Amino acid sequence: MVGSEIILATGRDLRPNHFLPKDGEESPCPFCPGNEHLAPDPQLEWKDDRRRWKLRVIPNKFPAVRVEGNSTFLVDSTGFGIADAHGVHDILVETPRHDATHATLSVAEHQDILWAIRNRTNDLRGDTRLHYLVVFKNFGLAAGASLPHPHTQIIGLPFIPAKLLERWNRLEKDYYQHGVSCFARALQKARIEKLVVLENDRFICYCPYESRVPFEMWILPNDNIAHFDDLSASYGQLASMLAKTFHLLELAVGFLPPFNLFLDEGPTKQHRNCDRFYRVRIRIVPRLTCMAGFEFATGCFINSVPPEQAAKRLREVDATAAFTAATPAAVPVA
């Protein structure tokens, strides 16, 4: 297809999968304390007051892209191109606790993760061969995770995906047509249609009108900010919202479902300044349903839980949780 990019990474078939049933003894988790020798040396490691690591960034042993590539494209006679693409693929091990989840991590732990993402991506931007950084998390086998230990992935690409270029161009054109960004109008609609789940001084969490899956949520700044770096003064408030959002998702569904999370931001400022028409988003996509033939054939999604109902359910469990927390425990009658 014209304009499509495909990354061929055959070595990733060798990844361990700790979710699949195994015969005999389970292999040790390479992200757990005591197993550091099973993982590459860290590029970044933060320690607590007792000198134990609390967060690490390490190279992925089974990368989708490799630092050895040169990104020189060779185009054949049919017009198709191929390159031994340069890139970076890192793993951010979010906590030493193997069984932690985004619903059980503390606000401080969420904030550490945000700062680690900022520090590592700022470092990677020094490599001029990398044109776009992708930050994402897969939780659960249905969401594509191969290891249950909490981790986020960072991939640096030698190109900007065509889908993103098309989106930025379309949203910039929309801004000039309406005089206000599409995101500002979307948030106005979210408040009118009661799609808002949580809100604080700097951020809003809502179920987008165009939700593709049940309980899809976006977290956006209230201001026109297109880059994750520019939110750093508010990481505390963002961490608090993330911790509460995942707690509500767990309460609303009855368990924390598999999900994909990704950071959706504008291009690096050297390439383009898009603060006027774009806003950085954290997009949370629960995997309670699966893509099937219709979705693959058309690119359209069938969502069985309208965003109005999802937002209402999330607000209801929030109110119930708040009421329970504020109500004194009953004293047994002797």
pLDDT confidence of residue 1? 45
List Cβ neighbours of 27 (8 Å cut-off, separation of 6 or more): 16, 18
Q: Look up residue 265 and give its two tokens.
A: 């931001």
Which element (helix H / strand E) includes 244? helix 235-253
> Is the separation of the CB atoms in 229 and 218 below 8 Å?
no
pLDDT confidence of residue 67? 67
Number of H helices, E strands in the chain: 6, 12
CA distance 151 to 39: 13
From first to last of its 334 residues, the chain has per-residue pLDDT tens of 445 554 445 554 555 555 555 555 678 999 999 999 999 999 999 999 999 999 999 998 887 777 655 555 555 555 555 655 678 999 999 999 999 999 999 999 999 999 999 999 999 998 888 889 999 999 999 988 889 999 999 999 988 888 999 999 999 999 999 999 999 999 999 999 999 999 999 999 999 998 999 999 999 999 989 999 999 999 999 999 999 999 999 999 999 999 999 999 987 776 677 888 999 999 999 999 887 787 778 778 888 899 999 999 999 997 777 655 554 444 333 3
Residues composing the chain = 334
> Is the separation of the CB atoms in 133 and 125 below 8 Å?
yes
Which element (helix H / strand E) includes 182? helix 182-192
* CATH fit for domain 28-319, picks 1.10.760.10, 3.60.150.10, 3.30.428.10, 3.40.718.10: 3.30.428.10
pTM confidence score? 0.86
CA distance 187 to 204: 9
Listed by start position, the domains of the chain span: 28-319
Kindly provide the residue ranges of all beta strands, DSSP E only, lying in 84-158, ordered along the sequence.
88-93, 132-139, 151-157
